[in-house]
């Protein structure tokens, strides 16, 4: 009976694996930036860009971020950093870059009904003057050419909004090897009605954001406002999602603990803020672990036949290969080890799903010390 159940499970997992491979390959193909410089001359008059960075208690990461931004070779560039009522030396650090052209904006008290980051983004937008606005997090790292690459892509492809999934260019770290599956799922579930988005770095026409969406006022309580904006623009082909590359020059560095906190903040809303969907997602993740549990427990105990063991091994290898296809594309180092740790990462993801649901239903989820209280559906 056990073997029958495991054979059926393998058949289901093989079907899911094929679908995931197909979707991942499609997303990677569609999101890889083509050669576009030949379509737009180097002497083209490029539009102005305002880089907008919200910062709240970011003294640990802000210096490296700004040092990268100010080395940009983009000619028409404005850099604004908003201190969102920090309790550390964030304000002083921002002001220390004034001689490098960085403009400091003091954030105001958080109004009722707003999430902290969304209010900070609105404040930055109101201060910006560029034709395009590039919103980025403090853990994003830009090469000198990154802004120009992004703007040129937007112009050539007539995109009103472009977001770039950043690469991990740093070395062998737990924060890379043990990264949650946030962006992996973005690529797997990428579709026209709800396209992949990356909050680390996204470019949008300022006037469009103001006129069509009234800035962030329509999304003041959305956990991922950029995703909602992207979904609406994708319907008219005005939004494009790109995978970062070494050439494109958009990377990020983020501690493992910070990534876990971000996942807890995002997963439950992405599952429709529904407990039932969270339970289903948790069970689906456990299903992905069945081949690895079978090989680790049932095979040594002699409870399965050699043919089933071989089939199970092929299924397990298939999922590691699937993840390797992703890690090889978005990590500079450690991608093979990360792929081999697939079952550990899946188990971590299952724990995060439950943690996110529990914390949201208990109303204890925080962002930078502030409670998040979106509408919760049970």
- 325 has pLDDT over 90: yes
- 377 has pLDDT over 50: no
* Among the listed residues 14, 18, 22, the one whose alpha carbon sits nearest the alpha carbon of residue 190: 22
Percentage of residues in the chain having pLDDT higher than 70 = 96
What is the average pLDDT across 28-50? 74
Is the pLDDT higher at 33 or at 69?
A: 69
What is the average pLDDT across 141-166? 94
- 41 has pLDDT over 70: no
Question: What rounded mean pLDDT belongs to the chain?
Answer: 91
Distance CA 203, CA 136 (A): 9
Distance CA 226, CA 68 (A): 23
Instruction: Write down the pLDDT at residue 42.
Output: 58
* Among the listed residues 110, 127, 115, the one whose alpha carbon sits nearest the alpha carbon of residue 51: 127
CATH of domain 32-254: 3.90.550.10
Distance CA 241, CA 250 (A): 13
Instruction: Write down the pLDDT at residue 79.
Output: 97
What is the average pLDDT across 83-92? 87
Which token pair is 301? 């105990």
Instruction: Write down the pLDDT at residue 364.
Output: 92
- 38 has pLDDT over 60: no
Instruction: Write down the pLDDT at residue 299.
Output: 85
Distance CA 194, CA 130 (A): 28
- 89 has pLDDT over 90: no
The ranges of the chain annotated as CATH 3.90.550.10 are 32-254
Q: Is residue 59 exposed (0-12), middle (13-18) or buried (19+ Cβ within 10 Å)?
A: middle
Give tens-digit pLDDT for 290-324.
999 999 998 888 888 999 999 999 999 999 999 99
Instruction: Write down the pLDDT at residue 263.
Output: 95
- 43 has pLDDT over 60: no
* Among the listed residues 331, 150, 181, the one whose alpha carbon sits nearest the alpha carbon of residue 246: 331
Q: First vs last Cα of the chain: how many Å apart?
A: 37
Instruction: Write down the pLDDT at residue 374.
Output: 53
Distance CA 7, CA 13 (A): 10
The count of other CB atoms within 10 Å of the CB of residue 336 is 13
Give tens-digit pLDDT for 346-361.
999 999 999 999 999 9
Give tens-digit pLDDT for 204-253.
999 999 999 999 999 999 989 999 999 999 999 999 999 988 888 899 88
Give tens-digit pLDDT for 255-292.
999 999 999 999 999 999 999 999 999 999 999 999 99
- 37 has pLDDT over 60: no
Instruction: Write down the pLDDT at residue 153.
Output: 93
């Amino acid at each position: 009976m056990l073997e029958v159940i495991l054979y059926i499970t393998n058949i289901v997992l093989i079907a899911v694996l094929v679908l995931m491979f197909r979707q991942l390959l499609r997303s990677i193909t569609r999101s890889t930036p083509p050669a576009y410089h030949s379509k737009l001359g180097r002497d083209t008059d490029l539009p102005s860009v305002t880089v907008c960075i919200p910062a709240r208690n970011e003294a640990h990461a802000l210096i490296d971020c700004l040092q990268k931004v100010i080395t940009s070779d983009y000619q028409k560039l404005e850099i604004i950093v908003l201190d969102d009522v920090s309790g550390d030396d964030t304000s002083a650090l921002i002001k220390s870059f004034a001689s490098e052209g960085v403009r400091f904006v003091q954030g105001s008290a958080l109004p009722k009904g707003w999430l902290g980051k969304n209010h900070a983004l609105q404040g930055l937008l109101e201060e910006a003057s560029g034709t395009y606005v590039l919103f980025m997090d403090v853990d994003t790292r830009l090469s000198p050419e990154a802004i120009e690459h992004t703007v040129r892509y937007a112009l050539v492809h007539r995109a009103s909004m472009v977001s770039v999934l950043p690469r991990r260019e740093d070395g062998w770290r737990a924060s890379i090897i043990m990264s949650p599956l946030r962006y992996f799922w973005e690529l797997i579930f990428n579709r026209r009605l709800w396209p992949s988005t990356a909050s680390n770095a996204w470019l949008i026409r300022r006037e469009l954001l103001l006129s069509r969406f009234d800035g962030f006022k329509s999304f003041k309580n959305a956990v991922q406002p950029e995703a909602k904006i992207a979904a609406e623009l994708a319907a008219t082909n005005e939004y494009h999602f790109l995978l970062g590359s070494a050439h494109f020059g958009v990377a990020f560095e983020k501690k493992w603990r910070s990534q876990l906190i971000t996942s807890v903040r995002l997963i439950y809303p992405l599952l429709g803020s529904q407990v039932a969907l969270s339970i289903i997602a948790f069970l689906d993740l456990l299903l992905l672990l069945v081949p690895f549990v079978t090989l680790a427990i049932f095979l040594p105990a002699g409870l399965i036949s050699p043919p089933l063991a071989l089939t199970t091994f092929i299924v397990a290898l298939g999922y590691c290969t699937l993840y390797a296809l992703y890690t090889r594309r978005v990590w500079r180092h450690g991608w093979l080890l990360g792929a081999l740790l697939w079952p550990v990462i899946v188990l971590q993801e299952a724990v995060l799903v439950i943690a996110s649901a529990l914390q949201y239903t208990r109303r204890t989820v925080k962002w930078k010390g502030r409670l998040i209280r979106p509408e919760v559906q049970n």
